[in-house]
Structure 1
Amino acid sequence: MDSPAGDPVDARIVGILRFNGRISWKELADRVHLAPSSVADRVRRLEERGVITGYSARIDPAAVGRTVRAVVDVSLVPGDEADAFEARLVERDEIIMASYVTGSADYTIVAECAGAEGLDAFVRWVRADEAVARTETKLMLRSVIG
């Protein structure tokens, strides 16, 4: 197999499941032109190989009161313990993604907050962390993809 996802049919299955993890075996089978039992076997093998690691629900942020999405770039104090900072990030449910990155910042965080007040409180929490030297926050006005 050339791809970690397997053959082209497995890759197509993975692509479809990325956007709809609740699709029925029949509908998935119809889309990849296989029998439902064959699709179920392929998905099970993809799970066993660790290609598919889980399933989740996409939530409309506005439906749960999170009307502001922002990107917060964070630079740490030189020599500070990054592991401890990362552990503190896990505490915040506003964070939908956090990555250690290259460039002028050390981390990029994407947060969904309850309005401007929620974002202000979140950014104040980040800035109050003793490991944080600097932040830069950008509001996301609309999503083009994702």
Structure 2
Amino acid sequence: MDEQTSALDAIDTRILGEIRHDARISWRELGDRVHLAPTSVADRVKRLEQQGVITGYEARINAAALGRTVQAIVDVSLVPGDGADAFEQRIAARDEVVFAAYVTGSADYKIIVECAGAPGLDAFIRWVRADEVVARTESQLVLRTILD
């Protein structure tokens, strides 16, 4: 644990939990939930941002509202060699990719995609498999999200 995170107290931890759940919460509501004045909460959040504990805020997008009705986890294994960096850049540029990580285990990468139905997923997987550095893929359809 580094010096920055060791300085977190129980209130900071509760603030982080509330912000993780709803980053648009008002200072007043956040203060009510952690039993502090809104200005005190705002000061703490600003300090957490300056320390790099809070690194940003993001919007959650309803993929189905965009016509992306299929979510899948795609495991990708690469052939041995030097193509990983270029592969990562190509994956990062794809709009349907919502998460990608280089991992340990039987695959080299775990990629989560949101696609326009089965045809969109098929097109994405065909695109991945056409890459000369890809040795194999394995895909799982997400049936239901438990924790987002």
TM range (shorter): over 0.9
TM-score computed with the length of structure 1 as normaliser: 0.95
Letter in 2 for 1:100: Y
Which of residues 44, 60, 65 in structure 2 aligns to 1:58? 60
In structure 2, relative to structure 1, the CA distance for the partners of 1:28 and 1:94 (3 Å cut) is same
Structure 1: where are the runs of 5+ without partners? none
Which of residues 11, 14, 17 in structure 2 aligns to 1:15? 17
In 2: Cα distance, 1:101 partner to 1:4 partner? 28
Q: Return the offset for 1:19.
A: 1.6
Counterpart of 1:79 in structure 2 is: 81
In 1: Cα distance, 2:108 partner to 2:47 partner? 37
Q: What SS class does the counterpart of residue 30 from structure 1 fall into? A: helix
2:98 maps to 1:96: yes
In 2: Cα distance, 1:7 partner to 1:101 partner? 32
Identity %: 67
Letter in 2 for 1:142: R
Counterpart of 2:41 in structure 1 is: 39
Contact 2:4 2:51 in 1 (8 A): no
Counterpart of 1:114 in structure 2 is: 116
In 1: Cα distance, 2:118 partner to 2:39 partner? 49
Contact 1:68 1:115 in 2 (8 A): yes
Contact 1:4 1:51 in 2 (8 A): no
- Matched pairs, number: 146
In 1: Cα distance, 2:67 partner to 2:6 partner? 38
Q: Return the offset for 1:55.
A: 0.7
Q: Return the offset for 1:3.
A: 4.1
Q: What SS class does the counterpart of residue 29 from structure 2 fall into? A: helix
Give 4+ residue runs of structure 1 displaced > 2 Å after superposition: 1-5
In 2: Cα distance, 1:5 partner to 1:86 partner? 36
TM-score computed with the length of structure 2 as normaliser: 0.94
